[in-house]
Structure 1
Amino acid sequence: MKVKAKTTWDLVYSTEVHGRSLTTLYSRVKYSHDAENILVIKDFHQSIFGAFLTSSVRLSDRYYGNGECFLFSFQPIFQKFDWSGSNNWFIKGNEDSIMIGGGGGRIGLWLMEDLCRGRSDICATFNNIPLTLSKDFSILSLEIWVID
């Protein structure tokens, strides 16, 4: 992974500011298509976790992104889950969810359309453990930051 100095972080989507709508999320991030993103989630257990994405989330018929994507969790300490090399299932957005990572019928980070619920499971893409105390979680807040 290349080390790059990034100077600007812009908050482009926040459930606290923009509400809970997948349509609004896609609309807010569409202009940062080629920019790197940090997706940060806080659940009702106060766990903080998310993903570094090499491209913004968007509607797509197939997975996109590259091996610089990773999942992370601060539960109970900071853990980073890099690309395992086993598949290229990095990011996929559709009208009812966002999926990050996959394989074996499991998704590393799965956010439902209402942006109130999600699921984290082990997945082949990142060889991760679930990012939260419980695989199914309720979202307290979600933010997407564009790094430029």
Structure 2
Amino acid sequence: MQVTGDTKGAVFGGLLSAPLMPTPKKKYQGTSETFVFTDVSGQPELYHPTGANRYFVLCTNDALALGGGGHFALHLDNDLLTGSSGSCATFGNMCLAHSEDFIVKNVELWGFAHSSRYVPRAASFKEPTEAPGVCRW
């Protein structure tokens, strides 16, 4: 998941359905489970794929972008300090930020992984002994 904010108070971003894999060439990734969101209007708005194309996520060594076909729904430069947003065919969205070009206030990138990939096969689950909600493998 990517969450971004501009200096005028908007919060926007997208849920990516696959891990980011930076490539030197422009190659779109992701699936139709990807979507973008914004609260620029004061109400949360979700934009799901329209089916117009498969331009879900573009992750190069220079930038990160969601959507395509006209403009990117969200584009962050490689320094993560500036970005742009516009209407795109992939999600049928309007500009996600207060203006098409914006200064990034903050960026959060969250990744989720299936825990079984990182647990040795001989490990076993133990009940928490310290605090409630803490599990040890």
Question: Normalising by the residue count of structure 2, what TM-score does the alignment of the two structures yield?
Answer: 0.76
Q: Please name the residue that 1:117 is paired with.
A: 82
State the match for 1:140 in structure 2: 105
Task: Establish whether residue 66 from structure 1 lines up as the match of residue 31 from structure 2.
Answer: yes
Q: Percent same amino acid among aligned pairs?
A: 32
Larger Rg: 2
Structure 1 residue 58: Cα displacement? 2.2
Q: Greater share of helix residues, 1 or 2?
A: 1
User: Once the two structures are superposed, what CA deviation does each residue of 1:97-120 show, in whole Å capped at 9, x if it has no partner?
Assistant: 11110003x111100011000000
Tell me how far apart the structure 1 counterparts of residues 92 and 111 of structure 2 sit (CA, whole Å). 25
The one of the two structures with greater contact order (alpha-carbon pairs below 8 A, sep at least 6) is 1
Deviation at 1:57, TM superposition (A): 2.2
The residue that corresponds to 1:51 in the other structure is 14
* TM-fit CA distance, 1:147: 3.3
Offset, 1:65 = 0.5
Q: Distance in 1 between matches of 2:101 and 2:19?
A: 24
Question: 1:1-148 to 2 correspondence within 5 Å?
Answer: 38-60=1-23, 61=25, 62-75=27-40, 76-104=42-70, 106-148=71-113
Distance between the aligned counterparts of 1:83 and 1:141, measured in 2? 25
Letter in 1 for 2:30: G
Cα distance in structure 2, aligned partners of 1:111 and 1:139: 9
8 Å CA contact 1:73–1:131 kept in 2: the answer is yes
Runs of 4+ in structure 1 deviating by more than 6 angstroms, as ranges, are none
**Structure 1, unpaired ranges of 5+:** 1-37
- Report the CA distance between 1:132 and its aligned residue: 0.9
1:147 aligned counterpart, secondary structure: coil
TM-score (norm 1): 0.71
Q: How many residues align?
A: 110
Consecutive unaligned residues of structure 2, counting only runs of 5 or more, are 114-137
